[in-house]
Amino acid sequence: MHKFLIALVLLISFSFKSKHQPTCDEMKLFEKASFPVGAAINTDKLKNDEKYGKIVLSQFNSITPEKIMKAQYIHPKKEYFYFTETDHLIAFCKQNKIRLHGHTLVWHKALPVWLENFKGDKNEWEALLKDHIKTIISHCKGYIKSWDVVNEAFNDDGSLRNNIWLKNIGESYIEKAFLFAAEADPTAKFFYNDFSLESNGKKLNAVLAYITNLKSKGIKIDGIGMQMHVSPDYPYLSDINQAAMAMQEAGLLVHYSELDITLSGRHYFFASRSKMLNMQKDRIKSIVEGYMKLNPENRFGITMWGVTDNDSWLTEGNFRARPLLFDLSYKIKPAYCGFIEALENK
Ligand code: XIL
């Protein structure tokens, strides 16, 4: 009886696997692509998890650190910057000829306690902002040549987020941030990064108008990161493509900077797994196809926000999300094949 049960379980799991195991050429994504293909990296996993490291090396030629360059980690005390982890990652990227994209200098989240409690007038806050940005960029500028300078500064209604920087410095913190960045490394590419730009026209227009105005004042801003935390049926593909085209028309580089496609929507609750995985595949295929319609010189790249479904920030909150290209056992998913097919133009 016992043996019979084991055989049954094996049979079911085998048929599940073969039914669900996608087939496509497990080519290196970045070799097929005419633009950099990246992933957000968890540096602990990169050091300790061999299978994770293998995927990173074989598939991606661009890396965004998921956590270690955020203020909380890299600037834990006012007078102290912690660069050890960043230096490890720089060395890894250098050795393997992988682009490293700096993320993120000015944000309202992942702030160190000292900064949240900092008391000072506008000038002191500005000095702090300057020190933060210039110290980090100067330390990394031998290798890091692109940065998310300001992250998520807008509300959904297109107004400016009333974050710690706006409260203490005023609206000029945004242009100051880009100015300080350019002072530290005039040769790097600087990005404004935000979510919902692909789904919220009001926010997109506000951001584009704001950035265009700063550029016309001579502030160096090179591109926009569309985070692209999307789902299989939201937003419309046409909205995504139009947003990207609008950025291109404004003379900006376009980075799909944090792409993931969550399967956790409540209305998918009763849908079969294989159906969901195929929807995810079709979705990523069409997103990549749309991206490839941009001019090559405007394509900064597509970065997945994580490597496997184990290490996605969305899985932390909901195990049904499964938003990435590799599954819980590090195998390629249909979405991976969707990405490849788009690159192969099939
Ligand atoms: C997320 C990380 O993935 C999580 O691990 C962390 O706990 C919180 O931040 N927008 C961004 C990213 O710009 O930095 C965020 O990353 C996800 C939303």
Domain boundaries, given as residue ranges, for the chain? 38-344
Q: Is 231 close to ligand 1, i.e. is its CB under 6 Å away?
A: no
Taking the centre of ligand 1 as the mean of its atom positions, its distance from the CA of residue 66, in whole angstroms, is 6
Taking the centre of ligand 1 as the mean of its atom positions, its distance from the CA of residue 62, in whole angstroms, is 17
Q: Is 227 close to ligand 1, i.e. is its CB under 6 Å away?
A: yes
- List the single range of 52-56, 250-254, 267-271, 307-311 with lowest mean pLDDT: 267-271
pLDDT of residue 316: 82
Catalytic residue among 66, 126, 152, 341: 152
Q: What is the pLDDT of residues 145-176, one digit of tens each?
A: 999 999 999 999 999 999 999 999 999 999 99
Please provide the average confidence, as pLDDT, over all residues in the chain: 94
The yes/no answer on whether domain 38-344 falls in CATH 3.90.660.10 is no
Q: Is 313 close to ligand 1, i.e. is its CB under 6 Å away?
A: yes
DSSP string, 133-174: HHHHHHHHTTT--EEEEEES-B-TTSSBP--HHHHHH-TTHH
This prediction has a pTM of 0.94
pLDDT of residue 75: 98
Tokens of 242: 């139009």
Taking the centre of ligand 1 as the mean of its atom positions, its distance from the CA of residue 258, in whole angstroms, is 9
Contact 241, 256 (CB under 8 A): no
Catalytic residue among 66, 126, 198, 258: 258
Ligand 1: nearest atom to the Cα of 103 = 14
Tokens of 312: 């996605």
Nearest CA to ligand 1 atom 13: 151
Average pLDDT over residues 97-107: 98
What is the Cα–Cα distance from 289 to 241, expressed in whole angstroms?
A: 10
Taking the centre of ligand 1 as the mean of its atom positions, its distance from the CA of residue 110, in whole angstroms, is 9
Q: Is 66 close to ligand 1, i.e. is its CB under 6 Å away?
A: yes
Q: Is 79 marked active-site?
A: no
Taking the centre of ligand 1 as the mean of its atom positions, its distance from the CA of residue 305, in whole angstroms, is 8
The residue type found at 321 is A
Q: Is 258 marked active-site?
A: yes
Nearest CA to ligand 1 atom 14: 66
Check pLDDT > 80 for residue 10: no
Give phi and psi for 235, each to the nearest 5: -80, 180
CA 269 to chain centre: 27
